[in-house]
Amino acid sequence: MTAPFIPVLLGSDVNVYGMARSFHEAYGQFGVTSYAIAKKALGATSHSKIVKVAVVEPDLEEDEVFVKTLVRFAEEHQNGKKLLLVPCGDNYIKLLVRNQDALRDYYTFSCIDEPLLMQLSIKENFYKVCTDHGFVFPQTTTCSAENYKDIVLPFDFPVIIKPSNSVAYWNCTFPHKKKVFLANNKEEFDAILEAIYGSSYQDHLILQEYIPGEDSQMRVMNCYCGKDKKVKLIALGHALLEEQSPEGIGSYAAIINTVDRRLANQMREFLEDIGYVGFANFDMKLDPRDGKYKLFEMNLRQGRSSYFVTAAGYNLATFLVNDLILNQPMGCVIAEEPVLWSLIPKRLIFKYVHDEELKEQARELIKDHLFVRSFDYEPDLSIQRRIYFLKNQLNYVKKYKKYFGNKGLHE
């Protein structure tokens, strides 16, 4: 017996590998391996038996090229099976939303419409929508290429600086570029803004008050909303550490699954009220000053670290397949089973996490064999993958030593 579908994943990063592993764990016995279509090939999915990077197209972010590439792939690979399309990056989400009508005859996928995309993907719009649903945010303002030299901040330093348009920012370059900056004073603030607007990035920047606390104050929530616009899965992750490299700041490196039912119910009401479908991923920080979660952003996809949900026993791929392929009715599941998920070596967790209670939780989960790393997957550990995994772990050791705590405009 073979599965009646083929997963087609957009991208080639660790998020794609996590989804491919989810599909393989759930359906590998039925012959399921994933295909990936990406702008470029990355090490996370190289030499893999569970995902094949079938198409690398440097111009994939152009709408016409995107449609032609996906249609051509579908015509070559359908073979009577449904092609289950899963975008795994912000740029691919936007491309799919814009071009969904041209692809529906070829692929099965979950996708919101363009007005909702614009409402949620631009951070200023997103904050306005969420305020109406009772979410709390860090004090926030914006600046533009036209007014950034004269901006007056309504809150004190330190200040977080990040792009409103993440896709445009991803495509710009300038010295010491980071995914997110932290300015401790006016001098650093001015230098960072000059550097950003001296590049090709000319869209708005989000300027936020800094919420005190280490990485372990961060939380990440992953949800899946069915085609009936009802929430089917809610999983909350308690971050232990974030990545520290310039391109990785803000991405989670180690997570313990946890539960907050009040927050889960609030998020469920929000998603169902706006009529959302597909995966959603929320970043937030627990503010020690008032004990409230301060919401940062919503990603219109599963997050880069979302494999922690599968690792906890709530396989992300099965929610997609049950909803879109098998048309199975589903209630709402809140992920409760604990797991310690990590991209980094265990020793980095115990070296850089300062919360002793959290480290004790990590020790207990490791002791109970509830420690999972995305790339440490026995069915896919060929010699090449073992070498990649070893180099990957050594690189994390070097990056933490070099970059830990550095969110400024310098090495």
**pLDDT tens-digit profile of 287-330?**
999 999 999 889 999 988 999 999 999 999 999 999 999 999 99
Using the predicted structure, report yes or no on whether residue 277 has a pLDDT greater than 70: yes
Q: What whole-number distance in Å separates Cα of residue 302 and Cα of residue 307?
A: 9
Radius of gyration of the chain (CA): 21
Query: Cβ of 76: how many Cβ atoms within 10 Å?
Result: 10
Using the predicted structure, report yes or no on whether residue 246 has a pLDDT greater than 80: no
Pairing relation of β-strands 181-183 and 140-143? unpaired
What confidence score (pLDDT) does residue 131 get? 86
Pairing relation of β-strands 218-225 and 231-242? antiparallel
Using the predicted structure, report yes or no on whether residue 72 has a pLDDT greater than 90: yes
Q: What whole-number distance in Å separates Cα of residue 141 and Cα of residue 160?
A: 11
- Measured CA distances, 305 to 81, 109, 136, 370 (Å): 29, 21, 23, 16
Q: What whole-number distance in Å separates Cα of residue 16 and Cα of residue 302?
A: 10
Using the predicted structure, report yes or no on whether residue 122 has a pLDDT greater than 80: no
Q: What whole-number distance in Å separates Cα of residue 251 and Cα of residue 232?
A: 24
Query: What one-character DSSP code corresponds to residue 323?
Result: I
Q: E strands along 248-327, which residues?
A: 252-258, 278-287, 292-299
- In terms of Cα–Cα distance, which of 235, 281, 286 is closest to 257? 235
Residue 315 CA neighbour count, 13 Å, CB half: 13
Please report, as a single letter, which amino acid is at residue 371: F
| Segment 333-348 mean pLDDT | 97
pLDDT per residue as tens digits for the range 6-46: 999 999 999 999 999 999 999 999 999 999 999 999 999 99
In contact, 121 and 113? CB cutoff 8 Å: no
Query: Directed axis angle between helix 114-121 and helix 123-131, to 10°?
Result: 90
What confidence score (pLDDT) does residue 230 get? 98
- In terms of Cα–Cα distance, which of 385, 216, 374 is closest to 309? 374
- Helix%, strand%, coil% for the chain, nearest 5: 40, 25, 35
Tell me, rounded to whole angstroms, the distance of Cα 32 from its chain centroid: 24
- Which residue has 């970043």 as its token pair? 283
- In terms of Cα–Cα distance, which of 283, 240, 235, 232 is closest to 259? 235
| DSSP helix/strand/coil, 232 | strand
Using the predicted structure, report yes or no on whether residue 411 has a pLDDT greater than 70: no
CA angle 219, 220, 223 (to 5 degrees): 145
- In terms of Cα–Cα distance, which of 304, 110, 163 is closest to 222? 304
Residue 242 CA neighbour count, 13 Å, CB half: 26
Q: What whole-number distance in Å separates Cα of residue 313 and Cα of residue 252?
A: 19
In contact, 88 and 302? CB cutoff 8 Å: yes
Please give the structure tokens belonging to residue 343.
Answer: 């991209």
Using the predicted structure, report yes or no on whether residue 409 has a pLDDT greater than 80: no
In contact, 230 and 269? CB cutoff 8 Å: no
pLDDT per residue as tens digits for the range 375-394: 999 999 999 999 999 999 99
pLDDT per residue as tens digits for the range 166-216: 778 988 999 999 888 999 999 999 999 999 999 999 999 999 999 999 999
What confidence score (pLDDT) does residue 128 get? 82
Please report, as a single letter, which amino acid is at residue 18: G
| Segment 50-56 mean pLDDT | 97
% residues pLDDT > 90 (the chain): 84
Please give the structure tokens belonging to residue 128.
Answer: 């306005």
pLDDT per residue as tens digits for the range 169-183: 988 999 999 888 999
